[in-house]
Amino acid sequence: MYANFFDTGEARSALRGSYVEVVIEGIPRGLRHLYFEYSLIGYFRRGLELLGAAPRAECIEGFSRGDDRVLYRVHLR
């Protein structure tokens, strides 16, 4: 899905027991905006909600914290 909208960087996710790990990396410094981080994680969360989950996103790394990549754990309840 990510590659349909963006031509730089990479996004991937993996189920890790009771949470999904979402990683976004390879984004050039000039494009590391909060909007980019929050909109992508929000889009991912909403997709899980539409499937009946009640996800809670936990920021481990992010542009919002000054990191070079985004790493969230989206906990499934």
Q: For 48-74, how does the pLDDT look when each residue is reduced to its tens digit (9 = 90+)?
A: 999 999 999 999 999 999 999 999 999
Q: What is the mean pLDDT of residues 34-50?
A: 94
CB 59 within 8 A of CB 42: no
Distance from C-alpha of 21 to C-alpha of 73, rounded to nearest angstrom: 5
Please determine, for residue 26, whether its predicted confidence score (pLDDT) is greater than 90: yes
Question: Which residue reads 């992010």 in tokens?
Answer: 62
Strand arrangement of the beta sheet that strand 70-75 belongs to = 10-16, 19-25, 70-75, 56-61
